[in-house]
Amino acid sequence: MTDDAKRTVFICRGTGCESSKSDVLHKMLEEEIKKQKLDKKVEIKKTGCHGFCQQGPIIAIEPEGTFYAMVKDSDIPKIVEFHLGKGEPIEDLYYVEPNTGEKIPKYDDIPFYSHQHRLILRNCGEIDPENIDDYIERGGYDGLKRAITEMTPEEVIEEVISSGLRGRGGAGFPTGLKWKLGRNAPGDQKYVVCNADEGDPGAFMDRSLLEADPHSILEGMLIAAYAISASDAYIYVRHEYPLAVERFKKALEDSTERGFVGNSILGTKFSVKIHIKEGAGAFVCGEETALLASIEGKRGMP
């Protein structure tokens, strides 16, 4: 690749990397790029978690696919001057495979990533979680558009049933069946509740997704609301996840502005309100009935 080609620098701004001061590195990158007059040739994007937290702070550079691990503030001037300015990668920052001692420059060649096939996490580390256009460019909200403009709620449910999609919890309950039961339940008022509370030690699946790809959660909630004819949807998330809450709120604001949330979504008769409920940190509120009690302002008891 030539040294004058346009490059994008992806810097991890998930909680793991931010705890290692990736926010400081981000600011240094911006300042150094301007100082070296490369701001028209280089774009910086913050991302959510790449999943390889022990290697943080992480910086990836495209289109080369270069992966830099454990980046320090003293490395920033070198990255900007040599890699971004002259097209000369910094070998000392390559990932080192512990089993072989091999230095691996490319993101896709690192065994940790090359053996993965990401579905839910496909956008994590690949997009700016606070930029709705990044999500849309990767097919975001296409599923919602198709569901509410081309399909009936019953057809959406049947497609989810046919897909074999199951809940990500221990029970693995069939998602389509849950939606069907919800739609057929008596009563005119229906609700969607997204359980993003996780109190298990070391469990950060919900947090990672909310920090890295909040629009995907929001789109799923909207499709579920359409399928069961719900006019209100709640996401229950830990108060101890401030970055996840902040990014979901930003996603909700932007999606509302674009017409994906609110009244007469995308010009249809479908309308839904999304509410954010921050939990107070009770482990038991990850359980369904305790969670619902907590949303209603009661003591969280199963």
Domains for the chain: give ranges and CATH numbers. 7-114 (3.40.30.10), 139-295 (3.40.50.11540)
**Higher per-residue confidence, 240 vs 110:** 110
SS3 66: strand
Q: Please name the residue ranges forming H helices in 36-124.
A: 76-78, 85-86, 111-114
Identify whether 129 is preceded by a cis peptide bond (ω within 30 of 0).
no
C-beta atoms surrounding 199 within 10 Å: 15
* Distance from C-alpha of 138 to C-alpha of 190, rounded to nearest angstrom: 31
How far apart are the C-alpha atoms of 147 and 132, rounded to whole Å?
20
Flag whether pLDDT at 294 surpasses 90.
Answer: yes
Written as six digits, the tokens of 221 are 């909630």
Q: Taking Cα atoms as reference points, which of 281, 274, 166 lies closest to residue 219?
A: 274
| The pLDDT of residue 198 | 79
277 forms beta bridges with 236
pLDDT band at 281 (very low <50, low <70, confident <90, very high): confident
Quote the crossing angle between the two packed helices 242-257 and 205-212, to the nearest 10°: 40
What tens digit of pLDDT does each residue of 60-103 get?
999 999 999 999 999 999 999 999 999 999 999 999 999 899 99
In which band, very low, low, confident or very high, does the pLDDT at 4 lie, cut at 50, 70 and 90? Answer: low
Mean pLDDT, the chain, whole residue set: 93
**Per the structure block, which two tokens stand in for 44?**
């910086």
Q: What is the CA radius of gyration of the chain?
A: 21
Give every CB contact of residue 266 below 8 A, 6+ residues apart in sequence.
Answer: 144, 145, 148, 149, 259, 260
Say how far apart CA 62 and CA 53 lie, in whole Å: 20
Task: Give the pLDDT mean for 174-192.
Answer: 95
Q: Are 226 and 153 in contact (CB under 8 A)?
A: yes
> Is 70 exceeded by the pLDDT of residue 234?
yes
Q: Where are the alpha helices (DSSP H) in 100-204?
A: 111-114, 132-137, 142-150, 153-163, 175-184
Instruction: Write b or e for each residue in 66-99: b if 16 or more Cβ atoms lie within 10 A of its Cβ, otherwise e.
Output: bbbbebeeebbeebbbebbbeeebbeebbbeeee
Residue 2's pLDDT is: 52
